[in-house]
Amino acid sequence: MNFQSDQIIGSSPAFLDLMDKISRAAPLDRPLLVVGERGTGKELIAARLHFLSKRWDQVFQKMNCAALAPTLLESELFGYEPGAFTGARNRRAGRFEAAHDGSLFLDEIGTMAMQAQEKLLRVVEYGELERVGGSETVHIDVRVIGATNIDLPAAADAGDFRHDLLDRLAFDVITVPPLRERREDILTLANHFGSAMAHELEWLTFPGFSKPATEAMLDYSWPGNIRELKSVAERAVYSCWDGEEPVCGLVFDPFDSPYRPGIAGANTAITRNATNEHGSTPNTDAPDTLPSSFDHPVSLKKETAAFEKKLIEAALTSNRYNQRAASKWLEISYDQFRHAIKKHNIDCS
């Protein structure tokens, strides 16, 4: 059972501002975008927007645009006619038709292929669509709520997202602050998840977290935001034997083990630290690990500069040479990024 899983918890000023914005935007029958880092609660907020709207008693459909290949996504969203593709024997309504009179949550909307974006624009603008392989125009009334953790204006500048669609979807943009910007919520959330776990374990009471555990949670940067906090709090509670003593023993990285496959001393430590700092999973574009031996003497300045250059190159390739996105990836300003490119003489073309 998911104990009170749809509750939105928080009391920080940033969270209260967010709730205020949600309450004001929800009743307006306009498309909306919810943006924020992974695990910040975008899906929860999209559901809240629907349930506070006039459409609350109608359907709330969810679709993750990254889950399907472009052609499949198109037929899933807009439906298809018999013969539209091999195996399409009968007509099938898509998610838009299924969400008629309600809301459709398009998660990871930034990954949508151009052709689907074109169709989406028409639905949002005129409430019209044609099923894949069909010519009959279907009229629907659906409120679209999109979510993304990428910088959509930067994606539009890079030619990966239609500017006109962005203009239309961004009637209002709800930006969800990361957990590190609302530290007042950390303990409230941790206690909420901790006591839900204690309830699940059938403890009579939840003794709370110990002082060192509390301090460690407040000190941590939470790159995975509330989803990560939830796992850490739940893991700590279930790892305790009983509910007698305050919960301690937080494990931030459940993979941390001397026997972790692929671990070979300092090399991996460097890679994993970089991963944690950026809050993203390791990727093949990530900078190389340290060589196992250096020629002495080692020039700290030279080695650091070489490492910095590799990070910048990795940021560029990981963000398809979109410099604004790359600067965000590295958590530096665009100007700092431009300066570093010049300094290292990196070719961005």
Q: Is residue 48 involved in binding ligand ATP (CB under 6 A)?
A: no
Q: Is residue 50 involved in binding ligand ATP (CB under 6 A)?
A: no
Query: What residues between 158 and 217 interact with ligand ATP by CB under 6 A?
Result: none
Q: Can you tell me the distance from the alpha carbon of 87 to that of 89, in angstroms, rounded to the nearest whole number? A: 6
The item of Mg ion, ligand ATP, none sharing an interface with residue 227, based on CB under 5 to 8 Å by kind, is ligand ATP
The answer to whether 166 and 109 have CB atoms below 8 angstroms apart is: no
Shorter beta-carbon distance to Mg ion: residue 43 or 200: 43
The answer to whether 114 and 73 have CB atoms below 8 angstroms apart is: no
Q: Which residues contact 111 (CB under 8 A, 6 or more apart)?
A: 65, 66
Sheet of 103-107: strands edge to edge?
A: 60-64, 103-107, 143-148, 32-35, 173-175
Distances in Å between the alpha carbon of 184 and those of 107, 179, 189, 195, 313?
28, 9, 9, 18, 36
Shorter beta-carbon distance to ligand ATP: residue 149 or 276: 149
CA dihedral 255, 257, 260, 263 (to 10 degrees): 110
Query: What residues between 288 and 307 interact with ligand ATP by CB under 6 A?
Result: none
Q: Is residue 42 involved in binding ligand ATP (CB under 6 A)?
A: yes
User: Which residue's Cβ lies closest to ligand ATP?
Assistant: 41
Length, in residues, of the chain: 349
Q: Which of 43, 130, 157, 172 binds ligand ATP (CB under 6 A)?
A: 43
Looking at 6-14, 130-138, 238-246, 255-263, which segment touches ligand ATP (CB under 6 A)?
6-14
Shorter beta-carbon distance to ligand ATP: residue 39 or 243: 39
Coil, strand or helix: which one is 293?
A: coil
Q: Is residue 172 involved in binding Mg ion (CB under 5 A)?
A: no
Q: Is residue 157 involved in binding Mg ion (CB under 5 A)?
A: no
Shorter beta-carbon distance to Mg ion: residue 43 or 130: 43
Q: Is residue 21 involved in binding ligand ATP (CB under 6 A)?
A: no
Q: Can you tell me the distance from the alpha carbon of 145 to that of 103, in angstroms, rounded to the nearest whole number? A: 7
Shorter beta-carbon distance to Mg ion: residue 45 or 138: 45
Query: Do the bridges between strand 173-175 and strand 32-35 make them parallel or antiparallel, or are there none, so unpaired?
Result: parallel
Q: Is residue 39 involved in binding ligand ATP (CB under 6 A)?
A: yes
With CA atoms as reference, report the closest residue to 235 among 260, 262, 261, 217: 217
188: buried, middle or exposed (CB in 10 Å: 19+, 13-18, 0-12)?
A: middle
**At which residue do the structure tokens 């574009």 appear?**
285
Q: Is residue 310 involved in binding ligand ATP (CB under 6 A)?
A: no
Q: Which of 26, 33, 35, 41 binds ligand ATP (CB under 6 A)?
A: 41
User: Which residue's Cβ lies closest to Mg ion?
Assistant: 43
Q: Which residues contact 7 (CB under 8 A, 6 or more apart)?
A: 192
Query: What residues between 26 and 85 interact with Mg ion by CB under 5 A?
Result: 43
Shorter beta-carbon distance to Mg ion: residue 64 or 191: 64
Binding mask 112-151 for ligand ATP (x = CB under 6 A): -------------------------------------x--
Q: Which residues contact 35 (CB under 8 A, 6 or more apart)?
A: 42, 147, 148, 149, 152, 173, 174, 175, 176
Q: Which of 14, 19, 44, 59 binds ligand ATP (CB under 6 A)?
A: 44
Q: Is residue 8 involved in binding ligand ATP (CB under 6 A)?
A: yes
Query: What residues between 206 and 265 interact with ligand ATP by CB under 6 A?
Result: 226-227, 230
Q: Determine the size of the site formed for Mg ion (CB under 5 A).
A: 1
Helical (H) or strand (E) element with 129: strand 128-130
Binding site for Mg ion (CB under 5 A): 43
Binding site for ligand ATP (CB under 6 A): 5, 7-10, 36, 38-44, 149, 226-227, 230
